[in-house]
Amino acid sequence: MAGFGLDSLVVGSAEPKKKTFLKGAQTRAWTSFIEAVTTDGRVLKPGVIFKGKDLQKQWFIDKFRRTADWYYITSPNGWTDNHIAVEWLKQVYLPQTKPADEGEARLIILDGHGSHAQPLDNGVFNSLKAYYRRELGKLVSLTDSRPVDKVNFIRCYARAREAAFTKQNIKSGWKVTGNWPISRRQAMNHPEIQEDRVAGPVDQPPERAPDDSPSTPKNSREIKDMGAGKSPTTRRLFGKAAHAFEGQQSQLAEKDATIASLQEELDRLKRGKKEKSPYAGKVMKIGAGVQASEAQALAKANGLVVVDGDCPSVGIAGGYTQGGGTSPLASKFGLAADQVLEWDNSDLYWALCGGGGGTYGVVLSMTVKLHQYQPTAGATLSFAEPLDVYWDLVRVFLMNLPTILDAGATVYFQLLPGNTFSLPQSYFLGGNGQDLEHLFQPTTQALKQSGIPYT
């Protein structure tokens, strides 16, 4: 018995009420788990028995093992049988309970739990069920995936198991049942043992109809307890009712999770509507494949301007805006991605605003802000100077740059080999040549004072 505590279990037990069943939400087929814990709070690798033949292909089993490295097997009804019991003993129980001292013995009692309460029913399985439902709820709200497939089922169970099978829970289960440390008084007073003692053929109390129960049961354990002291057939009926109740609870938990996820979606949509309302300006809906020049021409014809880049032939709703989209108008209005009010794929809104074309999904269209068309001034500046005074001039330019950008102008410049400064483009929407001259004045003044020619 040392180191051995299966729910129900016991491998090979013929008594259906003593099996542990967890439901896979996908098929409603029963899946049996063989769980075993040791008196020092250790849990052995579980055995998982799926119903049917679909897991017989090795690749499917391998897929499970990548999720959790357990012992997987199938049987026609999803229950254990003698063959599975022996395999589990050989592959899980014996290797994992091997004593450090070869001389020590191991004793397993396979008794169908008629003689003692078992530790896993006393704490661990209750928290396991609660954690499992929570994991299932999280999964449904995160993925909306329904039905839950077997891999997800295993994943949820693994997480729940990690939370429930704590050393403390296991050891307290052993203690409550009086199995370890051994306490005869504790064991004999345990409700499950009481039930067996009074159920003899002579002293059997009169059967009580279910309506006579003192209070309405609130959980499966209370339903099961209502069978205590009754005939084996009645106890089995209460056991079945308790299982059915658990099934209903599981469905209820799933429905709760669905309602929560729908509520979240509703809130999100409501928030989305509210966020959209503050912008009341003009917009343009641009399809994939439209070139920047085509969008700009249409905007201009309506006295408006759309944020685009240097190259008129880029796909404005394609790689350009999805990549962020720098623009001569960026100092004034922001990047091209900042103009997007809506992508046709709203779930990827933030990912598409700069995540890069082709990274996340196909964009069919986007809706962007338009701005009032205004005359735009442009300027260029270049100079070359072999002496170190060149770097003093570059410094003056860089110190002055924030002022130019803050004013709403855009600047593209390069520092080329041979102490050559080149500024091929500067744009100022709504300004004129004099405005730009004024903005660049600190640099041009320094050039003049140094006697360095510039264009």
Ligand X SMILES: Cc1cc2nc3c(=O)[nH]c(=O)nc-3n(C[C@H](O)[C@H](O)[C@H](O)COP(=O)(O)OP(=O)(O)OC[C@H]3O[C@@H](n4cnc5c(N)ncnc54)[C@H](O)[C@@H]3O)c2cc1C
Q: Do the bridges between strand 340-343 and strand 365-369 make them parallel or antiparallel, or are there none, so unpaired? A: antiparallel
Candidates 253, 314, 337, 423; binder of ligand X (CB under 6 A) is 314
**Is the CB of 135 or the CB of 308 nearer to ligand X?**
308
- What minimum distance in Å lies between the beta carbon of 420 and ligand X? 22
- Beta carbons within 8 Å of 404's beta carbon, 6+ residues apart: 411, 426, 439, 440
Task: For the CB of residue 346, give the shortest distance to ligand X in the complex, in Å.
Answer: 15
Q: Where are the beta strands (DSSP E) in 255-364?
A: 283-287, 304-305, 340-343
Question: Which span (175-183, 265-273, 295-303, 309-317) binds ligand X, by CB under 6 A?
Answer: 309-317
Please confirm whether the linkage preceding 147 is cis (ω < 30° from 0).
yes
Which is nearer to ligand X, 253 or 317 (by Cβ)?
317
Q: SS in 3 state form for 54-76?
A: CCCCHHHHHHHHHHCCCEEEEEC
Q: What is the DSSP letter of 348?
A: G
Q: Is 309 in the site for ligand X (CB under 6 A)?
A: yes
The torsion defined by the Cα of 178, 180, 183 and 186, in degrees rounded to 10, comes to -10
CB 70 within 8 A of CB 22: no
Quick check: 178 binds ligand X (CB under 6 A)?
no
Q: Measured between alpha carbons, how far is 18 from 115 in angstroms, rounded to an integer?
A: 13
The nearer residue to ligand X, 20 or 322, going by C-beta atoms, is 322
Q: Does 229 bind ligand X (CB under 6 A)?
A: no
State residue 334 phi and psi, 5-degree precision.
100, 180
Q: 46 or 325, CB closer to ligand X?
A: 325
Q: How many CB atoms lie within 10 A of CB 40?
A: 12
- Which helix (DSSP H) or strand (DSSP E) does residue 352 occupy? helix 349-352
Tell which positions 3-32 bind ligand X, by CB under 6 A.
none
Q: Which is nearer to ligand X, 257 or 290 (CB)?
A: 290
In what helix (H) or strand (E) does residue 245 lie, and over which residues does it extend? helix 232-276
Query: Which pair of tokens denotes residue 5?
Result: 């505590």
Position 325 contacts ligand X (CB under 6 A): yes
Choice from 24, 123, 137, 318 touching ligand X (CB under 6 A): 318
Q: Is 323 a binder of ligand X (CB under 6 A)? A: yes
* Among positions 358, 437, 445, 448, the unique one binding ligand X when judged by CB under 6 A: 358
311 binds ligand X (CB under 6 A): yes
How many binding residues for ligand X (CB under 6 A)? Answer: 18
Site for ligand X in 360-419 (CB under 6 A): 362-363
- What are 40's two structure tokens? 């020092």
CB of 315 to ligand X, least distance (A): 3
Cβ nearer to ligand X, comparing 220 with 327: 327
Q: How far is the CB of 11 from ligand X (least distance, A)?
A: 55
Binding residues vs ligand X (CB under 6 A): 288, 309-311, 314-315, 317-320, 322-323, 325-326, 357-358, 362-363
